[in-house]
Chain A
Amino acid sequence: MVGPLVALLLACLFFSLQTSRFLSGDNFALILQQVMVVGVLAIGQSLVILTAGIDLSCGMVMALGSVVMTTLATRSGVPPLVAIAGGVAVTGAIGLANGLLVTRVKLPPFIVTLGMMNIAFALTQLVSKSQTVTDLPPLLLWLGTSARIGRTPIAYGVLAMLALYVVAWWLLRNTAAGRHVYAVGNHREAARLSGINTERVLLAVYTLAGVCAGLAALLAVARTGVGDPQAGQTENLDTVTAVVLGGTSLFGGRGVIIGSLLGALIVGVFRNGLTLMGVSSVYQILITGVLVILAVATDQWSRRPA
């Protein structure tokens, strides 16, 4: 986690020297707001990757969750809170389905979630009839509104994301269930032989990833003010990028979840800083690509016997 933190701080230092508009509370609040959706999705992705799996469906599942909750709230006349719960229930159920396919049918996570990505996209189009859902009740937008901390407006969604990271970090570190996640990722068979119910761990992890997609859906709705059936197309790989930049190993079993937040922030800081400097966003993509390869290379080197 120290590596990504240093990278993040250096990037901030660099942009602070380059443009006077970068270093301000308002701007950091903005960057946090811009990474909150990918940040929350990355919690689920981190859990899955810690078990040596991958979730390619999270972005599309998020889009499905967002059109389900917005459609329920506007066209079906359901109370907003129930609509939100409905959206999260749908994404959680899809996560559970991913988990069942991985554990019971024993299909590779890559294939299961690739299939689910397409299914979720199609369901999103069917539920929304490919139309953007607008005129949402205020409760669905509340996480996009801001509280003032000092003079800086911080979106409630950002606070929610930070709280989720603290909870996930604490659970992974301090509970038996959390350690089982690492154990399954390190060596599934060894974990099973030592008495861990690996299937239950995986089911829980994929279901939680689905729930994270539902929470991210609520954040995406609050942030953009609409239910967007075209959303979520790149978020699956964006979350993998955040997780890898955060130092979590794609081979499972190693990593600290807060790193994924740092990874998402690194991407967000580059996007924001380069725009403030007037540099084309192509360079942001270029730099993200270089960073991902460097981060994985670092992981590989550190695995070699000394």
Chain B
Amino acid sequence: MRLFPPALRTAASRAPMIAPLLALLLAACAAPADQRPIIGLITKTETNPFFVKMREGAETAATKHGATLIAAAGRNDGDNAGQVTAIENLVAAGARTILISPSNAKAIVPAVAKARAAGVMVIAVDSPTDPVDAADALFATDNYRAGALIGAYARARLGNTPARIATLDLVPGHPVGAQRHNGFLQGFGLPTLDRTHNDLAQPPEVVCMADSMGDQAKGQTAMENCLQKNPDINVVYTVNEPTAAGAYNALRKAGKVQQALIVSVDGGCRGVDDVASGKLAATAQQYPLRMAELGVDAAMAFITGGTKATGYVDTGVSLIANTPVPGMESLDATAAATLCWGSR
């Protein structure tokens, strides 16, 4: 029996593993960084099409201004430690401005404070920090208004029929999820909470509330359970379009596609297509490209002129619906398709 670890192997026996590694690195890397100003962009994930679009927009805008964009991300939505590490590394890389979409509004605040103390301008894009003024500025969709648009639309489409609403929400306590949900209720004309709350209002018309984590499979499960709870649901609010796709599948399997109106928020290309095909009654489209462009513009203004961006900048939201209702401005799916992001 061997009680001791075997003798250490020589370095030579492991040296071969180094060569492919270096080759890979050299292949992956361009020339050493030059002296152009550096702008950092930290998204929630690398893969969400919304953030892919945002990154592309930021890269294009940075190149146009003669700046270098360094993109980083958490590994999954909610990965705060990964975003903290990204902030530190971007400050070390010499970034003068960091655009960040915080995965955890509260938990990112100490790291943002450190970066700002080091003289870096930090702009929250898409999602706020909590408190909002922890970052220099916020460039984002007005999520409460996005919710209100689809709420008002659903109310108008439903006419005088009594509403039996299911809401498929994000996760507990998330400001974006809460603003969309409470905004939806406001637009629908139901008692609700104002935009400062992170809790979800539940008037009696909301017969089922469930969390989808913004995920299609979980959205489908949530909708199936809601239909078990109340088979007569006729309005489905979903926090985003993957959730809406899941809800549609659940309704289709239950043979209830005709009975319920699905509304959502995002405006990604898949969602816009779902509006075109009638799976989705309406969605509220937001504009990641505009967030990125405004963010890079603000970064350049700070780098060249020293002026910091402040306050909240609304990056706009539009109602997308193929069946317009009187008194509400909306784009049809064809028009929205030119502004959407992600693959189809």
Is A200 at the interface (CB under 8 A from chain B)? no
- Asked if residues B13 and A3 are in contact (CB atoms below 8 Å), the reply is yes
- Of B2-10, B200-208, B233-241, B305-313, the segment with at least 4 beta carbons within 8 Å of chain A is B2-10
Cα A129 to Cα B198 with chains together (Å)? 13
Residues of A at the B interface (CB closer than 8 Å) are 1-3, 5-7, 10-11, 14, 18-21, 26-27, 30, 33-34, 37, 129-132, 134, 179, 182-183, 186-187, 190-191, 194, 220, 223-226, 228, 230-231, 233-234, 253-256, 271-272, 275-283, 285-287, 290-291, 294-295, 297-298, 302
Alpha-carbon distance between A276 and B89 when the two chains are bound, in angstroms = 7
Question: Can you list 25 residue pairs at the A/B interface with Cβ under 8 Å?
Answer: A2-B10, A6-B14, A7-B17, A10-B21, A18-B32, A34-B85, A129-B173, A130-B173, A134-B106, A190-B1, A194-B1, A225-B109, A225-B111, A226-B109, A228-B80, A230-B107, A256-B5, A281-B72, A281-B86, A283-B28, A287-B24, A287-B25, A294-B21, A295-B17, A298-B14
Contact B11 A2 (CB under 8 A): yes
Check B3–A183 contact: CB distance below 8 A. Answer: yes
Does B33 make an interface contact (CB < 8 A)? yes
- Contact A3-B81, Cβ < 8 Å, known A30-B92, A280-B46: no
Q: Are A275 and B72 in contact (CB under 8 A)?
A: yes
CA distance A170 to B118 in the complex (A): 40
Specify the chain A residue showing the minimal Cβ separation from B25.
A14
Asked if B79 and A233 sit within 8 Å, CB to CB, the answer is yes
Q: Is B71 an interface residue (CB 8 A)?
A: yes
Q: When A134-B106, A233-B79, A290-B20 are in contact, do A2 and B1 touch as well, CB less than 8 Å?
A: no
Whether a CB of chain A sits under 8 angstroms from the CB of B75 is yes
B2-60 contacts to A, CB under 8 A, are 2-6, 8-11, 13-15, 17-18, 20-22, 24-25, 28-29, 32-33, 38, 46
A30-B88, A182-B4 are known contacts. Are A278 and B33 too (CB-CB below 8 A)?
yes
Q: A37-B81, A182-B4 are in contact. Are A290 and B21 (CB under 8 A)?
A: yes
Once bound together, how far apart are the Cα atoms of A276 and B68, in whole Å?
12
Complex interface: chain A residues within 8 A of B38 (CB): 278
**A3 and B70 alpha carbons, distance in the complex (Å):** 31
Q: Which residues of A are found within 8 Å of B85, using beta-carbon distances?
A: 34, 271
Q: Is B127 an interface residue (CB 8 A)?
A: no
Question: Chain A residues with Cβ under 8 A from B11's Cβ?
Answer: 2-3, 5-6
Q: Residues of B with Cβ closer than 8 Å to A?
A: 1-6, 8-11, 13-15, 17-18, 20-22, 24-25, 28-29, 32-33, 38, 46, 68-73, 75-76, 78-81, 84-86, 88-90, 92-94, 103-107, 109-111, 171-173
| Interface residues of A, dominant DSSP | helix
**Is B80 touching A231 in the complex (CB atoms < 8 A)?**
yes
Q: What is the chain B residue whose CB lies nearest that of A280?
A: B71
* Most chain A CB atoms below 10 A, which of B72, B111, B171: B72
Task: Choose from B1, B105, B173 the contact partner of A186 (Cβ within 8 Å).
Answer: B1
Complex: A182 Cα to B3 Cα, angstroms: 6
Minimum distance in angstroms from A15 CB to a CB of chain B: 9
Task: Give A175 to B173 CA distance when docked, in angstroms.
Answer: 49
B250 to chain A, nearest CB (A): 24
Q: Which of B22, B33, B172 contacts A130 (CB 8 A)?
A: B172
The answer to whether A228 and B104 have CB atoms under 8 Å apart is yes
- In the complex formed, the residue of B with least CB distance to A234 is B75
**Could you tell me the distance in whole angstroms from the C-beta of B11 to the nearest C-beta in chain A?**
4
- Output the least CB separation between A133 and chain B (Å): 9
Instruction: Enumerate chain B residues within 8 angstroms of A191, measured Cβ to Cβ.
Output: 1
Closest to B198 in A: A131
CB distance from A23 to the nearest CB of B (A): 12
In the bound complex, residues from chain A placing their C-beta under 8 Å from that of B104 are 132, 226, 228, 230
Closest A residue, CB atoms, query B5: A254
For A276, the chain B residues whose CB sits under 8 A away are 33, 89, 92-93
Tell whether, in the assembled complex, residue A298 and residue B17 are in contact, meaning their CB atoms are under 8 Å apart: yes
In the bound complex, residues from chain A placing their C-beta under 8 Å from that of B84 are 223-224
Beyond A11-B21, A186-B2, 10 additional contacts (C-beta under 8 Å) are A1-B8, A6-B18, A132-B107, A225-B111, A230-B79, A230-B103, A275-B72, A275-B92, A280-B71, A287-B24
Select one of A187, A287, A302 contacting B9, CB under 8 A: A302
Shortest distance between the CB of A273 and any CB in chain B (Å): 9
Cα-based distance from A80 to B24 in the complex (angstroms): 48
- A151 nearest CB across to chain B (Å): 16
Shortest B13–chain A CB gap in Å is 7
Given contacts A14-B22, A275-B90, A283-B28, contact A132 B75 (CB under 8 A): no
Asked if residues B6 and A254 are in contact (CB atoms below 8 Å), the reply is yes
Q: What chain B residues lie within 8 Å of A275 (beta carbons)?
A: 70, 72, 86, 89-90, 92-93
Interchain CB contact under 8 A, B29 and A279: yes
Find out whether the CB atom of B71 lies under 8 angstroms from the CB atom of A234: no
Instruction: Report the minimal beta-carbon distance from A8 to chain B, rounded to whole angstroms.
Output: 10
Assess whether B1 is in contact with A187, with CB atoms less than 8 Å apart: yes
A19 lies within 8 A of B32 (CB): yes
Minimum CB–CB distance for A268 against chain B, Å = 9
Task: Point out the residue from B14, B24, B172 that lies within 8 Å of A3, measured CB to CB.
Answer: B14
Pairwise interchain contact A233-B18, C-beta atoms closer than 8 A: no
Chain B residues, Cβ within 8 Å of A226: 80, 104, 106-107, 109-110
From B2, B93, B103, contact of A278 by CB (8 A): B93
